Amino acid sequence: MGHYKSNLRDIEFNLFELLDRARIFGTQPYPDLDLDTAKFILREVDRLAREDLAESFEEADRNPPVYDPQTRTVKVTPAFAATYKTWMEAEWWRLRVLPELGGTAAPSSLNWALAELVQGANPALWTYVGIPTAARVIYRHGTERDKRIAQIAVDNHWGATMLLTEPDAGSDVGAGRTKATPNDDGTWNIYGVKRFITAGEHDLADNILHMVLARPVGVEGAGGPGTKGLSLFLVPKYHFDLETGELTGERNGAFATNVEKKMGMNVSTTCEMTLGEDIPARGWLLGETHDGIAQMFDVIEDARMMVGSKAIATLSSGYLNALEYAKQRVQGADLAQMSDKAAPRVTITHHPDIRRSLLTQKAYAEGLRSLILYTAAWQDEVAIRTAAGEDASLAEAVNDLLLPIVKGYGSERSWVLLGTESLQTFGGSGYLREYPIEQYVRDAKIDTVYEGTTAIQSQDLFFRKVVRDRGRALNHVLGEVKALAGEPSADLGVEHELLGRAVADIEAIVEKMTADFAAARDEAERIYQVGLNATRFLYALGDVVVAWLLLRSAHIALRALESDPHSADEQFYRGKVAAARFFAREVLPAVTAQREAALRVDNFVMELDEAAF
């Protein structure tokens, strides 16, 4: 048996019972994908993930890619190369490719459900299959020439990367110094060093298309300071014929000059890329417009979703591995017989703290899955409304609001719980390489860091998704939460009350942060108080949205149990109710504590002399 334990039943519950996705298949803009086919794909990818894609998980970790500084090339271990080939040949990745480029239009919700299965089985695999996203962004923003490049890249299964980060420009992308100068033939030469570039060099694909942020020099109206002065260039590893797509055999000047040694995600190459050092690095300006950061954010939004999806995929498998272990591991007597030294030993699932831990893992894993698929359902809504020529602005705003929660809150909760609960359930064995959990913990830590750290997600959430949006999306979501909290419920009355209180807590935190933000106009230092509360707000809002989704799920489960109390799904539904009840009772009261802490925030932390730290 492989390491990966998927939860297809819960994925289907979310898609078809909670989010009512069945109704969107076979209709615009997904006319070619009916519901039966979608369900078949889910089952097929689930099987493929568990039986095939998971196979190289451990070997690829123990045998990281080998970098040769002479040739500046990388060889990926054959076991992982075989996994990559299996996924590419299965062709399911084409569900993410635009129909204009030969793909099949599929709802985001289906695609992110599939992403969970793939990333749960082999978390690094997705980082090598960036081309559907890259091609979509290139097609959307590009000229006819760029659209052709996107087509060539898809047809030839090229790799794709995003080159933002530099040694002195991490979170602060606008500090980037990579430069671009125009050539007479319409191409550009790029010069600079990029760092932490995922899949920057490897031997899995014939070519790699780098999406590079660089600052044009000597060009009127472009190249100013900060992110707004950056433009986006398409820079291939190998030159190719724009007509036929065939590689010319000529190497372009974008080379990996180092591959990092890391804590986890070992098979995913993290490269230093040097451009234009010994031979020119030539590329094209995407869309012939100097709008690089906005274009790149089209990629980043997808990648942030990807990171959240990877994190929860790992947490879910971590939980299910821990559950299996706990059901078999005999240790200690039942607590109720603790004074009887001769009492029979029991499996650890009998112990209260293990039950607390397992339900914590279950509630978060399932709640975070709901959060991701709920977000994806808003992405479906954007596509459906746009195709119908209707206003999609609310759907866009809600998706934007949820993205930093998916990425920031999702990755933090997953990484922490994998360490404190999933690994802990195994006791000392969790620390051993014999079980997959230690690798899960190592592989998951990066999720809180790359694609914008948690601090960046918190700031994005408050400044951009709440303040700049004037609270429209937040009020919409909180309005839905309040509506459920206000409904009387015989079964979940206490939980509704707790949810109602937690929404009020969120509103109080937002009020305090908004007041500080407004006061900062006259008193600049007041903005520090917003900064001090930003991560707290991200986590608290995440907990409230997850509690709401779990409670909605619990109501569906209660209705199902009422209509057929002894169905094959009885325990599944009872588990849904238990997860919601547990989460509301255990987690939501902590939101009240966060409110108290948030309201007390002043500037003393900022005024402390550095020497006192």
Closest CA to 110 of 24, 5, 209: 24
Confirm or reject binding of residue 198 to ligand ST9 (CB under 6 A): yes
| Given the residues 301, 366, 396, 451, the one annotated as active site | 451
Q: Which stretch binds ligand ST9 (CB under 6 A): 97-105, 289-297, 340-348, 507-515?
A: 289-297
Q: Does 167 bind ligand ST9 (CB under 6 A)?
A: no
State the residue number with the nearest CB to ligand ST9. 130
Helix H segments across 388-461? 393-404, 410-417, 424-425, 437-445, 454-459
**113 binding ligand ST9? (CB under 6 A):** no
Q: Which residues pair with 236 in a beta bridge?
A: 209
Q: Tell me how far, at minimum, the Cβ of 525 lies from ligand ST9, in Å.
A: 19
**Of 227-266, which residues contact ligand ST9 (CB under 6 A)?**
227
Token readout for 584 is 């509301």
Nearest distance from residue 574's CB to ligand ST9, in Å?
Answer: 36
> Is 294 an interacting residue with respect to ligand ST9 (CB under 6 A)?
yes
Please report whether residue 199 would count as binding ligand ST9 according to CB under 6 A: yes
Cβ distance to ligand ST9 smaller for residue 426 or 462: 462
- Return the beta strands (E) in 278-418 as ranges: 281-285, 330-333, 345-347
Closer to ligand ST9 by CB, 264 or 452: give it. 452
Residue 182 CA from chain centroid, whole number: 36
Q: Name which of 254, 255, 270, 7 is nearest 124 in CA terms.
A: 270
For ligand ST9, the closer of residues 314 and 422 by Cβ is 314
Per CB under 6 A, contacts with ligand ST9 among 32-61 are: none
Write the interaction track for ligand ST9 spanning residues 459-488; mark x where CB under 6 A is met and - where it is not: -x---x------------------------
Cα–Cα nearest to 331, from 353, 342, 347: 347
Q: How far is the CB of 291 from ligand ST9 (least distance, A)?
A: 8
**How many residues belong to the site for ligand ST9 (CB under 6 A)?**
33
For residue 346, the SS3 value is: strand
**Region binding ligand ST9 by CB under 6 A among candidate stretches 139-147, 155-163, 505-513, 538-546:** 155-163
Contact range with ligand ST9 by CB under 6 A, out of 86-94, 291-299, 327-335, 348-356: 291-299
Binding to ligand ST9, residues 66-105 (CB under 6 A)? none
Tokens (6 digits) for 83: 């996994």
Task: Give the interface segment with ligand ST9, choosing from 36-44, 444-452, 513-521, 588-596 (CB under 6 A).
Answer: 444-452
Name which of 460 and 469 has its Cβ closer to ligand ST9: 460
Residue 452 binding ligand ST9, by CB under 6 A: yes
Side chain identity at residue 18, one-letter code: L
Contact track, ligand ST9, 204-233, x by CB under 6 A? -------x--------------xx------
Beta bridge partners of 190: 180, 281
Q: Which is nearer to ligand ST9, 182 or 229 (CB)?
A: 229
Active site residue 451: yes
Q: Is 450 in the site for ligand ST9 (CB under 6 A)?
A: yes
Q: Which is nearer to ligand ST9, 302 or 366 (CB)?
A: 302
Stretch that binds ligand ST9, among 14-22, 162-170, 384-392, 514-522 (CB under 6 A): 162-170
Cβ partners under 8 Å of residue 173, min gap 6: 164, 165, 213, 227, 230, 293
Kindly provide the b/e burial profile for residues 464-498, where b requires at least 16 CB atoms within 10 angstroms of the residue's own CB: ebbbebeeebbeebbeebbebbeeebeebeebbeb
**299 to 133, 288, 294, 308, 350: CA distances (angstroms):** 7, 18, 9, 15, 47
Integer Rg of the chain from CA: 25
Q: Which of 117, 121, 160, 105 is nearest to 137 (CA)?
A: 160
- CB-based contact 464:304 (threshold 8 Å): no
Choices 217-225, 276-284, 290-298, 330-338 (CB under 6 A): range interacting with ligand ST9: 290-298
Distance in angstroms (rounded) separating the CA atoms of residues 521 and 46 = 53
The structure tokens listed for 137 are 């962004």
132 or 367: CB nearest ligand ST9: 132
174 counts as binding ligand ST9 under rule CB under 6 A: yes
Residues 6+ apart with CB under 8 A from 149: 138, 142, 209, 234, 242, 284
Min CB(164)–ligand ST9 separation in Å: 4
Residue of 154, 212, 311, 456 interacting with ligand ST9 (CB under 6 A)? 456
3-state secondary structure of 77: coil
State the Cα–Cα distance between residues 294 and 490, nearest whole angstrom.
Answer: 49
Is the CB of 164 or the CB of 222 nearer to ligand ST9?
A: 164
**Polymer length in residues for the chain:** 613
Residue closer to ligand ST9 (CB basis): 215 or 496: 215
152, 173, 154: which is closest to 162 by C-alpha? 173
Residue 297 touches ligand ST9, criterion: CB under 6 A: yes
Return the residue of 106, 265, 293, 530 that touches ligand ST9, per CB under 6 A: 293
Question: Is residue 171 near ligand ST9 by the rule CB under 6 A?
Answer: yes
Q: Which stretch binds ligand ST9 (CB under 6 A): 47-55, 159-167, 317-325, 370-378?
A: 159-167
User: What one-letter code names the amino acid at 281?
Assistant: A
> 438-441 — which CB contacts under 8 Å span 24+ positions?
439/57, 439/58, 439/61, 439/264, 440/314, 440/317, 440/318, 441/264, 441/415
Residue closer to ligand ST9 by CB (options 302, 495) is 302
Query: Which residues between 299 and 358 bind ligand ST9 (CB under 6 A)?
Result: 299-303, 306
Active site members: 451
Binding site for ligand ST9 (CB under 6 A): 126-127, 130, 133-134, 160-162, 164-165, 171, 173-174, 198-199, 211, 226-227, 293-294, 297, 299-303, 306, 450-452, 456, 460, 464
